[in-house]
Structure 1
């Protein structure tokens, strides 16, 4: 159910034109251990829709908590406080790229 909502809301964000894509969305990696950028051309809208859903479900959530949701887990081990700066900046860019 949540997957369908995220896909539908991502399509809405793309159609509405209220989000400006940063120029680096086609070359950025989403984790330090990944080699390539995301394959889908609409990955930025999908991430933004996913974060909007998390904000709606958890009222009062902050950027610090959102960055923990976005940090990819490598393997089965979870190591806290090892997120890279690029991952930390993604939630900020989602909020700043949305025009009211």
Structure 2
């Protein structure tokens, strides 16, 4: 999966995302995806804005998590995924990646 494919998939999935009143930023090696879920519809941009939760990883690791090849807890313990902020919000990210 490429950064653009991930970005397009999240943008499409975000149209169904609920208003959580929060934002999340994926800080990837390949670029940034900012998902703002504070309005009626979620907005996805590639701007480096402040967010309630910041997930730092790579597109490759996200793909492994999405397909089940990598356990989320192992990814965090091994440093492949770093989360700053609202951990509960980070867990809801799975719905946007599926």
Q: TM-score, normalised by structure 2?
A: 0.41
Larger Rg, first or second structure (1 or 2): 1
More strand by share: 2
Return the structure number with greater relative CO, CA threshold 8 A, min gap 6: 1
Q: TM-score, normalised by structure 1?
A: 0.40
